A and B are shown apart, each in its own frame.
Chain A
Amino acid sequence: MNDRVSGMIVASEQGLRRRSGKLRDTHINLAHGSGGKAMRDLIEDVFLGAFDNPVLAAMEDQAVFSLADLARNGDRLAFTTDTFVVDPLFFPGGDIGTLAVAGTVNDLAMSGAIPLYLSCGMVLEEGLSVEVLRRVVASMQRTAQLAGVTIVTGDTKVVERGAADKLFINTAGVGVVPKDVAISARNARVGDVVIINGYLGDHGTAILMARNQLGVECNVESDCQPLGSLVAAMLAACPDIHCLRDATRGGVATVLNEFAESSNVAIRIKESALPIREEVKGACEILGLDPLYLANEGKLLAIVPAAQADRVLAAMRAHPAGKHSEIIGEVTKEPAGVVVLHTGFGGQRIVDMLVGEQLPRIC
Chain B
Amino acid sequence: MKFVDEFRDPEKALALAREIRDVVASIASARQRPLQIMEVCGGHTHSIFRYGIGQFLPDEVEFVHGPGCPVCVLPMGRVDDCVALAELPHVIFTTFGDAMRVPGSKKSLLKAKADGADVRMVYSPLDALKLARENPGREVIFFGLGFETTMPSTAMTLIQAKAEGLRNFSLFCNHITIIPTIKAILDSPDLQLDGFLGPGHVSMVIGTRPYEFIAGHYGKPITIAGFEPLDVLHSVWMVLKQIADGRSEVENQYARIVPRDGNVRALAAVHEVFELREFFEWRGLGSIDHSGVRVREAYAEFDAERKFPVPNLKIADPKSCQCGEVLKGVIKPHECKVFGTACTPEMPLGSLMVSTEGACAAYYNYGRIDTTGLKRKSMPLEVESTL
Contact = CB atoms under 8 A, between A and B. Distances in A.
Contacts, number: 86
Contacts of A335: 372-374
Interface string B357-372: 0000000111111001
Nearest to A276: B1
Interface in A247-285: 268, 270, 273, 278, 281-282, 285
B373 to A, nearest CB: 4
A350 B365 contact: yes
Contacts of B324: none
Given A278-B1, A281-B1, A335-B373, A349 B387 contact: no
Interface in B347-387: 356, 364-369, 372-374, 379, 383, 385-387
Interface stretch (A60-68, A113-121, A232-240, A336-344): A336-344
B246 interface: no
A268 B374 contact: no
B366 A285 contact: no
Most buried by A among B1, B5, B344: B1
A340 B101 CA distance: 27
Nearest to A279: B1
Contacts of B366: 349-350, 352
B4 interface: yes
Contacts of A338: 372
A54 interface: no
Interface of B: 1, 4-5, 8-10, 13-14, 49-53, 55-56, 101, 123, 127, 229, 344-346, 356, 364-369, 372-374, 379, 383, 385-387
A348 B369 contact: yes
A285 B50 contact: no
A272 to B, nearest CB: 9
Nearest to A347: B52
A270 B229 contact: no
A355 B123 CA distance: 20
B56 A347 contact: yes
Contacts of B8: 344-345
Interface in A307-363: 329-330, 332, 334-335, 338, 340, 342-350, 352, 355-356
A338 B1 CA distance: 28
A350 B372 contact: yes
Contacts of A348: 52, 55, 369, 374, 379, 383
A346 B382 CA distance: 8
A345 B374 CA distance: 17
Nearest to B382: A346
Contacts of B4: 281, 285
A282 B387 contact: no
Nearest to B344: A355
A214 interface: yes
A213 B373 CA distance: 42
A196 to B, nearest CB: 14
B345 A268 contact: no
A164 to B, nearest CB: 19
A138 to B, nearest CB: 34
B361 to A, nearest CB: 9
A126 B52 CA distance: 52
A268 B384 CA distance: 12
Nearest to B385: A342
Most buried by B among A278, A347, A350: A347
Nearest to B374: A335
Contacts of B5: 344
Contact of A349 (B10, B51, B345, B385): B51
Contacts of A352: 364-366
A340 to B, nearest CB: 7
